[in-house]
Amino acid sequence: MPDPGSTPALDRSRLDGLPLLGAAAPQDPARAGIIHLGLGAFHRAHAAVHTARALAAEPGDWGIIGFANRSRSVVDAMARQDGLYSVLELSEAGTRADLVDVHRGFGVMTEDPGAVIREIADTHRRILTLTVSEGGYYVSPRTGHLDVDAPLLRADLADPSAPRSVIGLIAAGLTARAAAGGEPFTVLPCDNVASAGQTARQMITEFLEHSGADDAVLAYVRDSVSFPDAMVDRIVPATTAGTSDQVAELLGVRDDAPVRAEQFSMWVIEDDFPAGRPAWERGGAILSDEVEKYEQVKLRILNGPHSLIAYLGALDGRVTIPASFAQDWIAEATLALIHDENLPTIDLPSGFDVAGYIEDLTHRWRNHDLGHRTRQVGSDGSMRLPQRIPVPARFHLGAGRMPALLALTVAAWFACVVPPRGFDPGEQARSMTDPAQARLQEIGSRATTPAEHARILLESGCLSEELAEHEDFVELVGALLTTIVSSGPRAAAAEALAASMKENH
């Protein structure tokens, strides 16, 4: 392996002879047509890659001005490297590294929110893409409307001219764009949020209404700003200390902002771009009017089962998803969740090969080179599980069936992130983080038994108020949590699997 001290740093002078993924965007930042909020690994391994491939097929002014949420490390590294970085692709065929060259400007949202507003107002910018996680949309899980009680959002509503939240920044930027002439614009969310485009439109419009925006601004957002839905799918594990060393060995340069990713990548986009867009369909994306159906596939065949693997694996002391899925009992419970409880709730897209998709998933979950950590997949459950559990659970409950493996997913989440009094879920589960963890722990602290613990948490509406009204589901979650505490996750999985098979066979 090259000596880090002797390996030249990546910059534009080192490009000759190095593999470039797709094509470069025009160098002039003024010609960059895309703004991106959330300059993390997922964006750089997903939308940026599809954009580079689209530019190779059809050149255009589609450079990206990227803003990190709050961390300077990636911004500083990419600025030093002239916007260049590498994607380390990990597949069964081996590992390869390619450079991406589409970013033309950088900033940090929390350090200079005014820069975000100015960029949105700039008529050269035509698309705003987002990877700000589920929490960035400030949807109240209780009401489905804008969470006006969130402290950051409440502060933004009190002074909408100096916003700090993503929703507040976009609202201020669109207000400024309307004042600058009202050029058409697109806001394209790339997060795991159901009907993400519609959700973003609703939250931004509600913010503008709550903050007293002019009718002219509301009319501009309604008539000239599109919010297409999209579904994104690529496993992007956290970059490790050794990732830069792997890139140095493969490319002979030192990259301080590399990303790791699996070979598989899917991006399904509703084609609604009044100001134009890259030729993403020529860069591997799917332009479709059935995005909602693809979302159902992703949420219920990949995301929900992925959470179950992470929680059961963490409770069993497994560090990674592949190590967890390698346990026969976890794989059996996961595949039963897919086939017996989630798949019947999905209206599949036209011509979609669901058997092939599930087969690909099993290979993805077994890819040890990815090393996707259970603690990473299991974090932020309070934002993710409301998207993944209530709708399919209520589908079965409404038909008189008990979705025992969905109940197991909830019980395992509680055990990992909000464990009952006196229960130690282990190091991997303790390492999971959740923005609602402190609040849920306080709610659950009144409980004296695991079953009571589950009941109090569910009745708080942490998943949905409607689901909490199903007494038999609440009781089963409590019973499975009790089994996890008393006999371990394997016993709880066997109990849930037996109940599910009884219901479905």
Q: Per-residue pLDDT tens for 165-198? A: 999 999 999 999 999 999 999 999 999 888 999 9
Give pLDDT, residue 177: 98
Give pLDDT, residue 238: 84
Mean pLDDT of 365-378: 89
Residue 231's DSSP bridge partners are 268
Q: How confident is the model at residue 3 (pLDDT cuts 50, 70, 90)?
A: low
pTM of the model: 0.87
Residue 85's DSSP bridge partners are 100
Q: Could you list the beta-strand ranges (E) of 263-350.
A: 266-269, 286-287
Would you say 385 and 409 are in contact if contact means Cβ atoms under 8 Å apart? yes
Note the CATH architecture for domain 292-504: Orthogonal Bundle (1.10)
DSSP 215-283: HHHHHHHHHHEE---EEEE---PPP-TTHHHHHHHHHSSB-SS-EEEES--EEEE----TT----GGGG
Distance CA 313, CA 320 (A): 8
Mean pLDDT of 21-50: 97
Mean pLDDT of 323-345: 97
Give pLDDT, residue 135: 86
Q: How confident is the model at residue 353 (pLDDT cuts 50, 70, 90)?
A: very high
Note the CATH architecture for domain 12-288: 3-Layer(aba) Sandwich (3.40)
Q: Which secondary structure element, helix H or strand E, spans residue 455, and what is its range? A: helix 450-459
How many degrees, rounded to 5, is the angle at CA 55 between CA 50 and CA 57?
A: 100
Domain ranges of the chain: 12-288, 292-504
Q: How confident is the model at residue 237 (pLDDT cuts 50, 70, 90)?
A: confident
Q: Is the pLDDT of residue 453 over 80?
A: yes
Give pLDDT, residue 505: 66
Give pLDDT, residue 5: 60
Pairing of strands 127-130, 259-262: unpaired
Both structure tokens of 392: 């399919």
Both structure tokens of 303: 């995301």
The tens digit of pLDDT for each residue in 405-440 reads 999 999 999 999 999 999 999 999 999 999 999 999
Q: How confident is the model at residue 504 (pLDDT cuts 50, 70, 90)?
A: confident
Residue 36's DSSP bridge partners are 66, 129
Q: What is the CA radius of gyration of the chain?
A: 23
Q: How confident is the model at residue 4 (pLDDT cuts 50, 70, 90)?
A: low
Q: What percent of the chain has pLDDT over 90?
A: 90
Q: Which secondary structure element, helix H or strand E, spans residue 98, and what is its range? A: strand 94-100
Q: Is the pLDDT of residue 489 over 80?
A: yes
Mean pLDDT of 76-105: 94
Q: What is the mean pLDDT of the chain?
A: 95
- Let me know if the fold of 12-288 is the same as that of 292-504: no
Helix, strand, coil percent values for the chain (each to nearest 5): 50, 10, 35
The tens digit of pLDDT for each residue in 289-318 reads 999 999 999 999 999 999 999 999 999 999
